[in-house]
Structures are given as C-alpha cells and as structure tokens.
C-alpha cells in the first residue's frame, strides 16, 4: 500500500510514480491518501505486505502506528524536510524499488513502548509509542513536579517543564532538542530525560528494555501527556502513567549499509559540506 501525505503535492506525484513502477512489475498496489487534518480516518491494511509512506518523518510516525501492531514492514520515501527515519529520496527511487522487488533489502527492528494512563487505578487510555511519551506542562507557564518510580523502586523527582520517556528512535527527536544523548536505532533501551529541569538532576537516564516506569505528576495546574507529538491529553490529580517495552516492534525496510545511521547523523547534525548527498541525506 502507498500512503502519501495528501497535503504535500510532491508526495502525491511520487505516489503516482511508485504505483506505475510497481504495477508494471505485476505488483498489486493500493493507495491511501493520509490527511493529517483527519487523523481518525485510517487505512485498511488487511492483506498488505508492505506500507510505503511518502512524506517526512511525521508521516512515517503516523504510518508506524498503523502497521507495527500488524507486523507490516514500513518503507519511507522523502518528500518533506531532511529527517532521520525516511529511507529513500527521489533521485534513486526506481533503482531501490527494483531492489525491493528482488527482496534485496534488510529489515531493521526497532523497539516500541507501551504507555498506559491510569486514573484512580483504572486504565483510562493506552498507546503504542514509536518516538516518545511526554508528560509536561499545559497552558500554564509553570514547571511541574513529576516523581518517577522504576520496578526496582524510586528513581527521582523532577521540577521541570516536563519529562520525556523515549525510545532509541525518539532520541533524535524531541529528546535530542532537549539535550539528550543520541542512541543508535538498534538499541532496545528507554531514555528518561527532564525538560528544562529546575534544581533537579539534569542528566538523562538510560534503561534496559525490561524496565518498567511509573510517572506520578503532581497536578497543581494544567499537566498533559502527548504521544509521538500527537494531540495532548489532560491529566488529573492522582493519575499514573505506566511505560514499558511494547510487545510489538516497528520493522523498517533499509537498503543501505548497517552503519548508515552514523553517516546520516553526520550529515544532519554537522551539515558537513564534504558529505555528498545520498539516500540518507
């Protein structure tokens, strides 16, 4: 299935190009035009072997939420800004589609998180997380208080703008902007990072895959939770956010060498002029 971002004209044009190429190779193709303004409309992925997303990292994240629970691999084609997640660009599109048809690729398995919101000890909401879960201040410009417990016991309490619990995939997203370390995508670790901490430990904490995290926000004014940059949910006094490794993983199609991540990192972070533009730029 093709999933272009309907708001990006170039994405729709690339979808036509991909559909034509695959159809000529006798591969059945369906198209779902994803509309960020109507996120409740989701694709029917029954019988799908691969989801090809055309857009930027935001489009790929939304698609990952659709396909990961079903174990469907994901391939990203860039039509937006430079990013860490999308695999292909326009210049080498047909070359790598040929490799795709020949099964000349590898699947990269990425850790996801399961986040649950409990209100008075009753499950209120649950989410699959690709990048991060963020508990942070809402409309009031005041720091919040968050206590964090692990399955081994108390870890720390923060006074901060918020707390990020991230995957390795998310370490190049919001966590990076907040000053966190960059984790290679193959690592199956969780990252806990405060946002603008005040008189609190300002170091990130890296946890093993088997860790279980509970966040207890003190509700003195608006506090929200947001998953992968989606619309925030208001938290109430006594709420608890539980986070652990997800039973599902995100499978991403990759054509490049295993160390592609570091070349991409150099190009994105340093803007090094001696690095030539390639599929990962």
Catalytic residue numbers?
Answer: 57
> For residue 160, how many C-alpha atoms fall within 13 Å in the half-sphere facing its CB?
24
Return the closest-CA partner of residue 171 out of 155, 156, 159, 187.
187
Other beta carbons less than 10 A from residue 159's beta carbon: 16
Other beta carbons less than 10 A from residue 26's beta carbon: 7
Which tokens sit at 142?
A: 């005041």
- Would you call 145 exposed, middle or buried from its count of C-beta atoms within 10 A (0-12, 13-18, 19+)? middle
CB 111 within 8 A of CB 246: yes
């Amino acid at each position: 299935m093709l999933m272009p971002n309907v708001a990006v004209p170039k994405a729709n044009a690339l979808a036509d190009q991909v559909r034509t190429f695959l159809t000529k190779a006798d591969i059945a193709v369906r198209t779902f035009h994803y509309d960020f303004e109507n996120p409740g409309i989701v694709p029917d992925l029954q019988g799908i072997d691969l989801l090809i997303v055309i857009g930027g990292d935001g489009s790929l994240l939304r698609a990952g939420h659709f396909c990961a629970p079903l174990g469907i691999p994901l391939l990203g084609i860039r039509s937006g800004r430079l990013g860490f997640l999308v695999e292909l660009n326009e210049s080498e599109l047909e070359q790598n589609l040929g490799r795709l048809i020949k099964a000349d690729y590898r699947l990269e398995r990425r850790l996801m998180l399961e986040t649950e919101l409990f209100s008075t000890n009753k499950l209120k909401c649950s989410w699959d997380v690709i990048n991060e879960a963020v508990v942070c201040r809402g409309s009031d410009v005041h720091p919040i208080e968050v206590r964090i417990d692990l399955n081994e016991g108390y870890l720390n309490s923060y006074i901060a703008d918020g707390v990020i619990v991230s995957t390795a995939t998310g370490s190049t997203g919001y966590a990076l902007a907040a000053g966190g370390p960059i984790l290679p995508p193959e690592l199956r670790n969780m990252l806990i990072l405060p946002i603008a901490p005040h008189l609190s430990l300002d170091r990130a904490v890296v946890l093993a895959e088997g860790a279980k995290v509970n966040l207890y926000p003190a509700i003195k004014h608006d506090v929200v939770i947001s998953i992968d940059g989606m619309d925030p949910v208001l938290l109430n006094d006594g709420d608890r956010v539980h986070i652990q490794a997800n039973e599902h993983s995100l499978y991403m199609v990759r054509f490049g060498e295993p160390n592609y991540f570091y070349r991409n990192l150099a190009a994105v972070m340093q803007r090094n002029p001696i690095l030539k533009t390639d599929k990962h730029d």
